[in-house]
Amino acid sequence: MTAASHDDRPDLGDILAFYAEAGADEALSEEPIDRFAAASRPAQIDASAARASGRDPTAAVAPPKPAPPSRSESQPRPAPARPTTVPDEAQAALARELAGKASTLAELREAMASFDGCNLKFTAKSLVFADGNPEAELMLVGEAPGRDEDLEGLPFVGRSGRLLDRMLAAIGRDRRSTYIANVIPWRPPGNRTPTPHETEICRPFIERQIELVNPKVLVNLGGPSAKTLLNTTEGILRLRGNWRAHTTASGVAIAAMPTLHPAYLLRTPAHKRLAWRDFLEVKMKLAALQG
């Protein structure tokens, strides 16, 4: 080390002055300090004060109260909810059996009326089977009946039904030349959305109904109908306007057009033009199949 570098080092006095200006004006203690024992100092001070006042120092410091037991220690855990059993797979199998045995629409309706495997039946007023001409070339399938349909026992008779009638009239059709049904034949309570389990219970009936009618063109009104009968997970706005095929149990492929549900069109009038395009496609398809 050179003399120059040795002379450049600050002396001890300069270092101490620097720390003093920075606020470090107290040296470390020669004895180690137990920082964890600091928490007991208030109790020690209280005990010293008690001795000074003549009180019993052991009574001055009360032992800490034990923490209350947790819910898991004081009360047993509730048993997990049991899965619902109605409807269950056995009822779905029964629905498939009954639907397969029906050789006519009248027999299918009778089978559905006697079927107790779907809980929706017990809250609905009516079995909403179908409306229109069972020999029609065009069949429309919605999702489930609403309040008006439940009261009258016919599909699409409320506001959405009146709109549907106008849509059919625009392509030269009416209920005498069309057959109309729903995937679910019983109204869900409060018009709630049917559960996937309820849909699967009713699927054999609507599939058999389509097979017995054997239309040339099937129109799926809304996403639930399209997803159920076309075995897809795509949304209706992606599905609509594109021809698909519904294949029956006997292997017959029926041209299917997914489109927007009339109830949706009442809420979103701007999309009526999309449904109009879809119905024009249906009209042209029927004309081509007749030719």
Q: Which tens digit of pLDDT belongs to each residue from 232-291?
A: 999 999 999 999 999 999 999 999 999 999 999 999 999 999 999 999 999 999 999 986
Token couple for 216: 């040339």
pLDDT on residue 112: 98
pLDDT on residue 26: 59
pLDDT on residue 27: 59
Name the stretches of the chain with pLDDT < 70. Answer: 1-87, 291
What is the C-alpha to C-alpha distance for residues 116 and 98, in angstroms, rounded to an integer? 12
What is the C-alpha to C-alpha distance for residues 118 and 43, in angstroms, rounded to an integer? 70
Phi and psi dihedrals of 96, rounded to 5? Answer: -65, -40
Compute how many other C-beta atoms are within 10 angstroms of the C-beta atom of residue 52: 9
What is the C-alpha to C-alpha distance for residues 76 and 91, in angstroms, rounded to an integer? 35
Question: For residue 144, which of 100, 189, 93 has the smallest C-alpha distance?
Answer: 189
State the amino acid at position 236 in one-letter form: I
What is the C-alpha to C-alpha distance for residues 70 and 82, in angstroms, rounded to an integer? 25
pLDDT on residue 261: 98
Question: For residue 95, which of 65, 79, 74, 119 has the smallest C-alpha distance?
Answer: 119
* CATH number of the 89-290 domain: 3.40.470.10
What is the C-alpha to C-alpha distance for residues 45 and 8, in angstroms, rounded to an integer? 52
pLDDT on residue 41: 54
74-98 pLDDT, tens per residue? Answer: 444 544 444 444 447 899 999 999 9
For the chain, the first-to-last Cα distance in angstroms comes to 110
Question: For residue 203, which of 221, 219, 185, 215 has the smallest C-alpha distance?
Answer: 185
pLDDT on residue 186: 98
Question: For residue 143, which of 263, 267, 281 has the smallest C-alpha distance?
Answer: 263
State the amino acid at position 65 in one-letter form: K
Q: Is 81 exposed, middle or buried (0-12, 13-18, 19+ CB in 10 A)?
A: exposed
Phi and psi dihedrals of 253, rounded to 5? Answer: -95, 125
| Residue 132 β-bridge partners | 179
Question: For residue 163, which of 184, 183, 142 has the smallest C-alpha distance?
Answer: 142
pLDDT on residue 56: 55
State the amino acid at position 150 in one-letter form: D
